[in-house]
Amino acid sequence: QPKGSAMREFKKSSKLDNVLYDVRGPVVDEANRMEAAGTQVLKLNIGNPATFDFRTPDEVVQDMASQLTECEGYSASRGLFSARKAIMQYSQLRGLPNVTMDDIYTGNGVSELINLCMQALLDTGDEILIPMPDYPLWTACATLAGGKAVHYRCDEEANWFPDVDDIRKKITPNTKAIVIINPNNPTGAVYSREVLEEIVQVARENQLIIFSDEIYDRLIMDGLEHTSIASLAPDLFCVTFSGLSKSHMIAGYRIGWMVCSGNKRIAKDYMLGINMLSNMRLCSNVPAQSVVQTALWGHQSVKDYLVPGGRVFDQRDCVMDELAKIDGISCVKPHAAFYCFPKLDVDKFNITDDMQFALDLLREKKVLIVQGTGFNWDKPDHFRIVYLPRVSVLSEAIRKIGDFLEYYRQ
């Protein structure tokens, strides 16, 4: 340090001032500190199947092992031909219109591609409609890109479906796009064809791009059907996201993809931007790309978890039963993924700061949840539970939440 000059301090970029990602935020930091100090924490906070004894199908691991020596170099920036071919076939099966091999990009998880799409699209002041509650990466990436995330309400009274009237109200001349998350994190909702058609109609009338995050499209229960919104919108430009993190329990391998479909003529320049950013990151993890074909078209072992007697199905029912025993909590039954988003009755519990509530619950009962405002929900009256842990862990954790809530009862 030169004599007489003040110590230089390095601050984070102001771009990050309004960026929030509480799924791994301060409450989780505290849980990690507690674990490092030897305290066991019941973790209902993160959708990482492998950490709850969900195993990757053997054929996927073997496929990767056998191909590893051929995956030493970079691939094409969009991804390996074999991976994109498999994704192309999958897209056709889901009815995505007008897709060629050049419209498919693999990424280091869907996460990388969400960021890439937001960076390539948004200028300062551009608005993008994002659900509330959301998977907060969407809001974080839109904000980081300089855009303005405008939240539309999903309606708890209507199975957590998007409130289309609210979407209409929030559109301005600056709105460029709408994001939907279907099946949904954190609510577990699977949208009906009717509501998807209404959203398409709004997008059509207002010339919006549709981004559809469908990473849970293969994790559906109760005989429900999943519809890809892009299949209903051949005249609009849509980008559909999915991947293997959840369906194949390989969140750690980092492989996801996005598919541009529909009316690509109107998005020619935007697609050049996407391609530029894709080239700049060279390519996604090549060993993980090498298993896409086997994973997508091989044995779908995840299905066994989603039927009665299967782990995810039974764990979902266990959570619903345990929550129903707590006076003042209600919860819309989730039909997909492995999350639910229970509601705390504000007339019964006096909670004004839900992050503090999550921290206090963690310190007192050693149970980790994510507070509802972490999903950009606008009131401190919800929280998210991940029901990946085994039934015995889940029921103990929810009983502890019930006990803890007695401190707040009014």
Q: Which residues of the chain form contacts with ligand PLP (CB under 6 A)? A: 47, 109-111, 135, 181, 185, 213, 215, 243, 245, 251, 256
**CB closer to ligand PLP, 277 vs 346:** 277
- List the 339-340 sheet strands across, edge first: 339-340, 383-386, 370-371
Report residue 189 as tokens: 């909702």
Minimum distance from residue 357 beta carbon to ligand PLP (Å): 22
CA distances from residue 285 to 123, 228, 262, 410 in whole angstroms, order as listed: 29, 26, 28, 52
**CB closer to ligand PLP, 64 vs 405:** 64
**CB closer to ligand PLP, 113 vs 405:** 113
Minimum distance from residue 288 beta carbon to ligand PLP (Å): 10
Report residue 76 as tokens: 């094409």
d(CA 331, CA 372): 13
d(CA 407, CA 410): 9
Task: Give the DSSP letter of residue 383.
Answer: E
**CB closer to ligand PLP, 147 vs 243:** 243
**CB closer to ligand PLP, 48 vs 275:** 48
Beta bridge pairs of residue 150 = 129
Minimum distance from residue 6 beta carbon to ligand PLP (Å): 41
Give me the torsion for CA of 35, 41, 45, 47, rounded to 10°.
80
The residue number with the shortest CB distance to ligand PLP is 109
Residues 6+ apart with CB under 8 A from 301: 57
Minimum distance from residue 133 beta carbon to ligand PLP (Å): 11
Minimum distance from residue 45 beta carbon to ligand PLP (Å): 11
**CB closer to ligand PLP, 202 vs 388:** 388
**CB closer to ligand PLP, 139 vs 245:** 245
Total Cβ atoms within 10 A of residue 14: 7
Minimum distance from residue 110 beta carbon to ligand PLP (Å): 3
Minimum distance from residue 349 beta carbon to ligand PLP (Å): 27
d(CA 357, CA 404): 10
**CB closer to ligand PLP, 140 vs 200:** 140
Minimum distance from residue 94 beta carbon to ligand PLP (Å): 17
Total Cβ atoms within 10 A of residue 165: 13
d(CA 229, CA 330): 29
Q: Among residues 324, 328, 311, which one has the least CA distance to residue 387?
A: 311
Report residue 360 as tokens: 């206090």
DSSP string of 314-359, one letter each residue? HHHHHHHHHHHTSTTEE-PPP-BTTEE--EE-TTTB--S-HHHHHH
